Amino acid sequence: MGWLSKIFKGSNHNISEGHYYGDCVQDANYNAPSTSGEAFLEQENEDIDRAIALSLLEDNHNAKNVFDIEIQLKEDEQLAKALQESLSVESPPQYGNGIPRYGSGIPYQGNAYHPYPVHFPMGFRSCAGCNTEIGQGKFLNCLNAFWHPECFRCHACGLPISDYEFSMNGNYPYHKSCYKERYHPKCEVCKLFIPTNPAGLIEYRAHPFWIQKYCPSHEHDGTPRCCSCERMEPQDTGYVALNDGRKLCLECLDSAIMDTKHCQPLYLDIQEFYERLNMKVEQFVPLLLVERQALNEARDGEKNGHYHMPETRGLCLSEEQTISTVSKQPRFGAGNRAMGMITEPYKLTRRCEVTAILILYGLPRLLTGSILAHEMMHAWMRLKGFQTLSQDVEEGICQVLAHMWLDSELTSTSGSNMASSSASRTTENGTRSQFERKLGDFFKHQIESDTSPVYGDGFRAGQQAVQKYGLVRTLDHVRMTGKFPY
């Protein structure tokens, strides 16, 4: 039985390579006494024949199992290798999200991801792009899915992404160049991509009202800013250069009032606005449009008064002076420079507590009107005998009237004397242009967001009092106490 044992052991050895294990078993009657030698030999021969047949049958079956198991092992090794390679891809950087604010810096929002080409056997995965089975050859493993190289495409241009890195926005992949073109902020002045600073952040400036983004360098490179709307226009957009050094954009120029004569219809509008409030100004008060230098000289000639810095754009005078007023508006020649403007002296005579109201020339109608409404309130209080008030109370209530006038102009389809004002620009149905309405909202925003303790805090305190008690009761309280009611 020794050789039979070798057959079983040999069979067992072969099967163990396929992780299949068998046991060697001896017959239970092997040591039992025999009744006949021939019978024993015959029985033994039958047992040997049966064992050989079983062994051959088992070897044939196990050889097939070993072949199948070896194929499976090979595929498992390929899969493990591919998964290991896909896990070695660099993790995507964090996605930065910034809110444009003045002087803000935000991370560049172009994240670099790496599509990884791998090889797998036929029928292993289906493509996330075309939903068909991926055959033998290269394909990409990215975004937790598998792709044919030609099916992994940019969401912007629709072309395949063959670069080593790509960018993501939401669930959509982009070429890095397409992502930058679509999402990287551009300067609204020079039209170039806003550069990143040494820390890798996109740093730009943004106007708090117009939300205009531009490179920080334009604040120091001589780029002009409109003296009315405060915007920096694109470099290929024209500006008008006024004689006193101010720059006026073409949209603000469209409704600008350029001389004293053309401001008189607006002056009548303001007087009628005060009459509707039962605050008629009885005395005649001259209105003069002046250049910046003349306005500053007149301010220096006043004994009392508080002036809005950094630039004064209107004055209510009480002293006798000689003022240089703009009597003829300029024309604009080569280079959009003002030419041919005529000024003439105007001697102020003190007949009452107010000698004149001065307004800076060359401002849009709505801004000129709000300044005039402010200065008219100064004149009204002086002519009504109000005591000397603290600066925040006097300037605050004047800002309230300027804000009220702007609000009335923007809520009405047109001013009462709008058709007679050559500086007004309306559409065919008599409504204001979209830009002029936006400009009016900007002037209101300037009053509301003023941070100065005199004009800003004074306006907010006066506005709160008027909303709570009404204009008449607020003015009566100010007249008696010199303070706003609370």
| Residues 268 and 189 placed together within one structural domain of the fold | no
pLDDT tens profile 379-437: 999 999 998 899 999 999 999 999 999 999 998 854 444 434 444 444 444 567 889 99
272 and 198 together in one domain: no
The total number of structural domains that make up the chain: 3
Please give the model's pTM, rounded to 2 decimal places: 0.65
* pLDDT per residue as tens digits for the range 35-50: 344 444 445 555 555 5
pLDDT tens readout for residues 71-127: 554 555 555 554 444 443 333 333 333 333 334 444 444 455 555 555 545 456 889
Of residues 78, 68, 174, 71, the one with CA closest to residue 125: 78
Task: Please indicate, yes or no, if residue 444 is contained in any of the structural domains.
Answer: yes
> What confidence score (pLDDT) does residue 124 get?
62
Dihedral Cα 56, 62, 67, 72, nearest 10 deg: 180
Q: Copy the structure tokens of residue 297.
A: 């000289």
Cα–Cα dist 400/404, whole Å: 6
Domain-located, residue 339: yes
What is the CATH classification number for the domain harbouring 136? 2.10.110.10
- Identify the CA nearest to 184 among candidates 213, 223, 216: 213
Are residues 331 and 191 part of one domain? no
- Dig out the tokens for 424 from the structure: 């007004």
Under 8 Å between Cβ of 176 and 112: yes
pLDDT value of position 266: 96
Q: Are 133 and 123 a contacting pair, CB within 8 Å?
A: yes
Q: Which of 168-172, 232-236, 402-406, 421-425 has the highest mean pLDDT?
A: 402-406
Domain residues for the domain of 215 are 184-223
Same domain, 211 and 133: no
* Element at 47 (helix H, strand E): helix 37-87
Is 312 in the same domain as 440? yes
Do residue 270 and residue 407 come from a single domain? yes
What amino acid occupies position 21?
A: Y
